[in-house]
A and B are shown apart, each in its own frame.
Chain A
Amino acid sequence: MSFADRKQALRRSQLYRWHVSQGAIFVERAGGVFVNEYDNSRDETSAAGHLGLCDLSLLPRHGITGAGSTAWLLAHDYEPPQHPNTVVTQPNDDLLVRLSAEEYLCLRISKLSGAAYDEPPHWPGDDDGNAYPAPRADSHCLFAVTGSSAATLFSKLCAVDLRPDKFADGCVAQTSVARVNAIVIRHDLNGTRNFYVLTSTSAAEYLWECLLDAMQEFKGMPVGIAALQAVAKVRA
């Protein structure tokens, strides 16, 4: 299947054209079009260990908000984080982020390894008590910033101290990155430092450009999900 033809892919990242211009080789995951790798001779896995930037905007994710959110999650076998601004890996490898006392975000990381968009998660509907779904899949784009220089990169863009010993694995910051609102989640991949960054979908191209520009100093580069999975040793 070719994803170069717009009409064959319903959902594409806001950065699709940029990826094409950089020789991206696409792969379908969970109903979305992801960059698997870029058509070049660079070692993306090595880059991801040093400083890599990966577009995961089409990764399935869901939000839940409302006074009954925590109770709803507990009742449906989720393991919500104990405190706001923390993240916990679920038994199925998905990440559940607690954004406030009663607001959560679920990143379906497990779906990176599956070609098809299988079942939607069990998630509250429109009339499910006082827990309500939030449209997080489309409101935000999602990037992964990986590698040993990732925290230093953020020091050029973000006023929060994200150094490894100050911003531990599992911490979440709701802050400003390059002057746009962003959620920064530290979730290391098999020992490799990794931050997920979510910002408004409308700001996707802007923030991507900012990150690329800032990472030049550290010789970072964009990578596809193959490199990310290699680093994380995610089940193929």
Chain B
Amino acid sequence: MSQVNRLPAPQGSLVDRAQTVSFEFEGQCVEGFAGDTIASALAASDLWLLSRSFKYHRPRGVLTMAGQDANTLVQLSGEPNCLADRTPISEGLQVTGQNYSGSLRRDRGSLIGRFARFLPVGFYYHAFFRPRGAWNWWSAWFRKKAGLGVVDQSFVGEGFDKQYRFCDVVVIGGGPVGMSAAITAATSGAEVLLLEEHTVLGGSLNYARAGIDANAEKLRRKRLVSEVEAAPSITVMTSATATGWYADNWVSVLCGKRLHKLRARKVVLCSGYLEQLALFHNNDLPGVMMGSAAQRLIKLYGVQPGKRAVVLAGNDEAYGVVLDLLDAGVAVAAVVDCRAEVSSDERVTAASHRGVAVMSGHAVYAAHGDHQHLASVEVRRIVGQGECASHGERINCDLLCVSVGVMPAYQLACQAGAELNYEEQSASFSITRLPPNFELGEAWDVENFPWPIFAHPQGKEFVDFDEDLQIADIVNATLAGYKHVQLVKRYSTCGMGPSQGRHSALPTARLVAQATGTTIAETGVTTARPPFAPETLGHCAGRSFYPALRTNIHHRHIEAGAQMLQAGAWYRPAYYGDDPERAIREEVLQVRQSVGLIDVSTLGGIEVRGPDAAEFLNRVYTFAYMKQAPGTVRYALMTNEAGVVIDDGVVCRLGPQHFYVTATTGGVEAVFRKMLQWNAQWRLDVVLMNVTSAYAGVNIVGPASRAVLEPLCTGFDVDKTAFPYLGVRRGIVAGIPAMLLRVGFVGELGYEIHVPQHCGEALWDALMDAGESAGIRPVGIEAQRLLRLEKGHVIVGQDTDAMSNPMELQMQWAIARKKDFFVGGRSLEVLERRPLRRMLVGFCANPAGSVPKESHLIIDGDNMIGRVTSCAWSPSLEKIIGLAYVDPASAAPGSVISIDVDGRRTVSAEVVSMPFYDADGLRQAL
């Protein structure tokens, strides 16, 4: 059986007969040549059964030989759903069919075809949900049956990549029209990228026959390819498929394992036509294929597609197929020409001269198989649109070539905004209303037979091979009320399979138009969304980027045993050690009792400079800054135009026109953008600089912090008088130029030291060394969060949400009332006149009970009156403390609230005055 159908050279332009390649199909060793696809090599060895259909498990074989259909989907070891007519063979390749029970040839699943009458279109919408609970059983069955190939979960990932590309003109399609367009564009000076989805340039010149001279296409191809290769400004990508068009001529191109993200000034679409189906009984039998598929087998792969053929014709191209079949030694039993009269094309005449019988005005009414392959066709006279005479003649054949019409490859054009227009005279769709910078290559006329659709009493005239949809399914969908072609698609799943309606769109439009009494032009086709061709998950995943930001002190944290967490893009130390509960408790107590070191480099930093700097800050924050003295720090609360709290930090006045503002780690980018946006309107004389990355920050905090820091400082005093609470100083720390802030986020004496980023680790080391005798230790952000909770400080984003205003947070003290304007001020005035709907309060709960978690609900009977925003067991206070939004009626200190902790149990808590710790603020002001 080895390569029994192989034709001698010069047929088979893609195969290298000097290199034999062996592979396995269904456990059987098969030989082919280098350059063969799986399908062509199997066909050469007379193996035509490739797969089983999705619904009825019908045998399927070669249809297009161009990777445009689902018939050839096969399973490779490690990769499902590969197109056998596009995938090259390689030594040792293991291939099996898909979607069968038992064996590909004896598929038990094909029994379902006998019950087809009980499985009409949309049957699953009406079944399987009764009796109650039935769906659970059915869904498991369906899930087992769904899908085609099988994912190999042990598969080890391979490298997929992405790349940007640019060009003046991208020509999509490397056929004669595409090559001509590329040459023309290059001649005009454009930088051209020519994309061809197949392995070689040439398109239809590689297989089709436009005249009687068998060599004409070959010579034309040679000339065009030479011109392309001689043009220095043309870059050719073969095996490259443009899968989608996106805004501004952004085209996704798949080539090998790389997704090219192409930006072109102009797109020229030269992707030609897709040959279309004829609908008759058993039109899906292996042995029934497009005329162009037979030509591809002969000319590209040197494979004889059958021994005795019938050609179903609807245009003159079919006679080119006839001539090629004859040249390949195939006996042509008849040409069944649907047209009442054949044309005078030279190919028709030549076929006649070679003794081929032409049956004009006839159609193939049914195909009949034997051993799962075509054995004969039943030919009948056409007596009306879609109607055949009651009797006909049976012709034995093992090959039926269908050549009745084409559909333009419209998908990319329509994604770009073009429209399809149906012309009754030519019975074909054309592409119209192209967007700017999008052109079509020069088209050639191809005749369509207007109604190659012949319904059969026993059905099985398939419209959509992917989903096993027959004529009746489409008609019944319209009868069920789904009259619009888009609804027909969704109800029937027509066009939703792997071939994405390439062959079903045209017959569906015709059938829906007939069933609904509209024209085909009015009916149109369904939306063609990207991707046009299959994209693997590898292509989508490919090279992806997940930015990770690290502080200059990052590696010291790792060396100290920190458990890092990612907050936004930042890596931050959560705690140090393996036992989180113990580590956090010890770190909190360290700060309360001695001294700790916290990396605050992630804190946002913005410099505001210029004559209007104070005025600017006065407008963007709720507090007042005009009279802020240099060398001092003030709290900063930012609201948006609606009065919602969106960020907070501190404002340090470094000079009369120079401020340094901190913002939250996650909020600084948005704050900076807001500042730029606002000042674009205000036009104040101010310069804004986001300097977050310029500085590393370390917070040395705890009652012993001053003693540790003092010996390292040069140029300023750190004592309480010279450097009081809410002061800012610049000087030298451990030989490093530094800016120091005295702030009290965690409620202890502390100094936030900001130094040039590259010096962060040096500062950290110096402080750790200096604090060694005091037992200094690093403190993570979990402990920092707990410390601030003890102090009753809110974290914007955790204790606030998209509705929180300063009154709800009980932060009216942070609003300067005498200012003329600040962002959100007007909204706050309005809000203040309304009764509060909720308030953020502190609460304490029984230390022996469960610790509520963030977002646990506060309930009052059956009513939800609030939620917890922060809660933890406090090592300093030895009780459970937290913050929660509650109904204002429950906000007074002493009120008792119930927290639903797990849907069944509640924890009782008492509302208390804040802060929980050091209410007089004496410790931070030491």
Q: Are B545 and A179 in contact (CB under 8 A)?
A: yes
Min C-beta distance of A34 to chain B, whole Å: 13
* Interface assignment of B695: CB less than 8 Å from any CB of chain A: yes
In the complex, what distance in Å separates the CA atom of A130 from the CA atom of B655? 14
Q: Are B765 and A138 in contact (CB under 8 A)?
A: no
* Interface assignment of B86: CB less than 8 Å from any CB of chain A: no
Counting contact residues on chain A (CB < 8 A from B), the size range is 35 or more
Min C-beta distance of A123 to chain B, whole Å: 15
In the complex, what distance in Å separates the CA atom of A57 from the CA atom of B758? 9
Q: Are B694 and A135 in contact (CB under 8 A)?
A: yes
From the candidates B164, B263, B549, B756, name the one contacting A206 in the complex (CB within 8 A).
B549
Q: Are A166 and B166 in contact (CB under 8 A)?
A: yes
From the candidates A66, A161, A180, A201, name the one contacting B758 in the complex (CB within 8 A).
A201
Contact string, B241-267, partner A, CB cutoff 8 A, digits 1/0?
000000000000000000001010000
Contact string, A153-174, partner B, CB cutoff 8 A, digits 1/0?
0011111010100100000000
Q: Are B736 and A10 in contact (CB under 8 A)?
A: yes
From the candidates B655, B657, B693, B765, name the one contacting A200 in the complex (CB within 8 A).
B693
* Interface assignment of A210: CB less than 8 Å from any CB of chain B: yes
Contact string, B680-696, partner A, CB cutoff 8 A, digits 1/0?
00000101010111110
Q: Are B545 and A210 in contact (CB under 8 A)?
A: yes
B-chain residues with CB within 8 Å of residue A126 when the two chains form the complex: 654-655, 658
Q: Are A203 and B547 in contact (CB under 8 A)?
A: yes
* Interface assignment of B759: CB less than 8 Å from any CB of chain A: yes
Min C-beta distance of B189 to chain A, whole Å: 13
In the complex, what distance in Å separates the CA atom of A136 from the CA atom of B689? 11
The stretch that binds B, out of A12-20, A36-44, A113-121, A224-232, is A12-20
Min C-beta distance of A210 to chain B, whole Å: 7
Q: Are A12 and B758 in contact (CB under 8 A)?
A: yes
A-chain residues with CB within 8 Å of residue B162 when the two chains form the complex: 156
* Interface assignment of A27: CB less than 8 Å from any CB of chain B: no
Min C-beta distance of B609 to chain A, whole Å: 5
* Interface assignment of A25: CB less than 8 Å from any CB of chain B: no
* Interface assignment of A134: CB less than 8 Å from any CB of chain B: yes
In the complex, what distance in Å separates the CA atom of A7 from the CA atom of B764? 11
Min C-beta distance of A50 to chain B, whole Å: 19
Min C-beta distance of B772 to chain A, whole Å: 14
Contact string, A200-221, partner B, CB cutoff 8 A, digits 1/0?
1111111000100010010000
Q: Are B689 and A203 in contact (CB under 8 A)?
A: no
B-chain residues with CB within 8 Å of residue A17 when the two chains form the complex: 555
Q: Are A66 and B555 in contact (CB under 8 A)?
A: no
In the complex, what distance in Å separates the CA atom of A175 from the CA atom of B545? 15
Contact string, B732-763, partner A, CB cutoff 8 A, digits 1/0?
00011000000000000000000011110110
Q: Are B261 and A10 in contact (CB under 8 A)?
A: no
* Interface assignment of A65: CB less than 8 Å from any CB of chain B: yes
* Interface assignment of B24: CB less than 8 Å from any CB of chain A: no
Q: Which A residues between 134 and 152 are near B, CB-CB below 8 angstroms? A: 134-140
A159, A201, A214 pick with most chain B CB within 10 angstroms: A201
A-chain residues with CB within 8 Å of residue B548 when the two chains form the complex: 203, 205-206
B-chain residues with CB within 8 Å of residue A179 when the two chains form the complex: 545-547
Contact string, B158-175, partner A, CB cutoff 8 A, digits 1/0?
000111111000000000
* Interface assignment of B678: CB less than 8 Å from any CB of chain A: no
B-chain residues with CB within 8 Å of residue A178 when the two chains form the complex: 545, 547
Min C-beta distance of A160 to chain B, whole Å: 8
From the candidates B552, B610, B655, B761, name the one contacting A201 in the complex (CB within 8 A).
B552
In the complex, what distance in Å separates the CA atom of A166 from the CA atom of B265? 14
Min C-beta distance of B643 to chain A, whole Å: 31
- Contacts A130-B610, A206-B549, A210-B545: A135 and B658 contacting too (C-beta < 8 A)? no
In the complex, what distance in Å separates the CA atom of A130 from the CA atom of B612? 11
From the candidates B263, B757, B765, name the one contacting A139 in the complex (CB within 8 A).
B757
* Interface assignment of B483: CB less than 8 Å from any CB of chain A: no
* Interface assignment of A67: CB less than 8 Å from any CB of chain B: yes
B-chain residues with CB within 8 Å of residue A161 when the two chains form the complex: 164, 166, 263
In the complex, what distance in Å separates the CA atom of A1 from the CA atom of B886? 63
In the complex, what distance in Å separates the CA atom of A159 from the CA atom of B246? 15
* Interface assignment of A127: CB less than 8 Å from any CB of chain B: yes
In the complex, what distance in Å separates the CA atom of A178 from the CA atom of B685? 35
Q: Are A10 and B759 in contact (CB under 8 A)?
A: yes
In the complex, what distance in Å separates the CA atom of A17 from the CA atom of B549? 16
Q: Are B761 and A135 in contact (CB under 8 A)?
A: no
A-chain residues with CB within 8 Å of residue B654 when the two chains form the complex: 126
* Interface assignment of A235: CB less than 8 Å from any CB of chain B: no
In the complex, what distance in Å separates the CA atom of A197 from the CA atom of B756? 20
* Interface assignment of A11: CB less than 8 Å from any CB of chain B: yes
Q: Are A130 and B685 in contact (CB under 8 A)?
A: yes
B-chain residues with CB within 8 Å of residue A138 when the two chains form the complex: 693-695, 756-759
From the candidates B164, B552, B694, name the one contacting A14 in the complex (CB within 8 A).
B552
B-chain residues with CB within 8 Å of residue A195 when the two chains form the complex: none
Count of interface residues, chain B, beta-carbon cutoff 8 Å: 44
* Interface assignment of A122: CB less than 8 Å from any CB of chain B: no
From the candidates B547, B655, B685, name the one contacting A67 in the complex (CB within 8 A).
B685
Min C-beta distance of A114 to chain B, whole Å: 19
Q: Are A139 and B545 in contact (CB under 8 A)?
A: no
Of all chain B residues, the one with the shortest Cβ separation from A160 is B164
Q: Are B164 and A158 in contact (CB under 8 A)?
A: yes
A-chain residues with CB within 8 Å of residue B756 when the two chains form the complex: 11, 135, 137-138
* Interface assignment of B543: CB less than 8 Å from any CB of chain A: yes
* Interface assignment of B635: CB less than 8 Å from any CB of chain A: no
* Interface assignment of A58: CB less than 8 Å from any CB of chain B: yes
* Interface assignment of A132: CB less than 8 Å from any CB of chain B: yes
Q: Are B761 and A155 in contact (CB under 8 A)?
A: no
In the complex, what distance in Å separates the CA atom of A58 from the CA atom of B762? 15
Of all chain B residues, the one with the shortest Cβ separation from A209 is B548
* Interface assignment of B206: CB less than 8 Å from any CB of chain A: no
In the complex, what distance in Å separates the CA atom of A66 from the CA atom of B692? 19
B-chain residues with CB within 8 Å of residue A127 when the two chains form the complex: 655, 657
Of all chain A residues, the one with the shortest Cβ separation from B165 is A155
In the complex, what distance in Å separates the CA atom of A130 from the CA atom of B609? 9
Q: Are B610 and A156 in contact (CB under 8 A)?
A: no
* Interface assignment of B484: CB less than 8 Å from any CB of chain A: no
* Interface assignment of B550: CB less than 8 Å from any CB of chain A: yes
Q: Are B552 and A7 in contact (CB under 8 A)?
A: no
A-chain residues with CB within 8 Å of residue B555 when the two chains form the complex: 17
Q: Are B687 and A139 in contact (CB under 8 A)?
A: no
Min C-beta distance of A219 to chain B, whole Å: 15
In the complex, what distance in Å separates the CA atom of A7 from the CA atom of B734? 11
In the complex, what distance in Å separates the CA atom of A57 from the CA atom of B552? 13
Min C-beta distance of A60 to chain B, whole Å: 11
- Contacts A138-B693, A138-B695: A58 and B758 contacting too (C-beta < 8 A)? yes
From the candidates B609, B693, B695, B759, name the one contacting A140 in the complex (CB within 8 A).
B693
* Interface assignment of B570: CB less than 8 Å from any CB of chain A: yes
In the complex, what distance in Å separates the CA atom of A180 from the CA atom of B570? 13
In the complex, what distance in Å separates the CA atom of A127 from the CA atom of B656? 10
* Interface assignment of B551: CB less than 8 Å from any CB of chain A: yes
- Contacts A126-B655, A200-B693, A202-B551: A156 and B543 contacting too (C-beta < 8 A)? yes
In the complex, what distance in Å separates the CA atom of A129 from the CA atom of B49? 83
Q: Are A139 and B691 in contact (CB under 8 A)?
A: yes
- Contacts A158-B164, A159-B164, A159-B261: A6 and B610 contacting too (C-beta < 8 A)? no
- Contacts A67-B685, A126-B658, A206-B548: A7 and B758 contacting too (C-beta < 8 A)? no
Contact string, B656-699, partner A, CB cutoff 8 A, digits 1/0?
01100000000000000000000000000101010111110000
Q: Can you name 5 extra interface pairs (CB under 8 A) apart from A126-B658, A206-B548?
A: A6-B765, A11-B758, A137-B756, A139-B693, A202-B570
9 contacts across the A-B interface (CB closer than 8 A): A17-B555, A159-B164, A159-B261, A159-B263, A161-B263, A178-B545, A179-B547, A203-B547, A203-B549
- State the B residues within 8 Å of A (CB): 161-166, 261, 263, 543, 545-552, 555, 570, 601, 609-611, 654-655, 657-658, 685, 687, 689, 691-695, 735-736, 756-759, 761-762, 765
- State the A residues within 8 Å of B (CB): 6-7, 10-14, 17, 32, 57-58, 65-67, 126-127, 130, 132, 134-140, 155-159, 161, 163, 166, 178-180, 200-206, 210, 214, 217
**Which 7 pairs across A and B sit closest by C-beta, in order of nearness?**
A139-B694, A202-B549, A138-B757, A135-B694, A179-B545, A200-B693, A138-B756
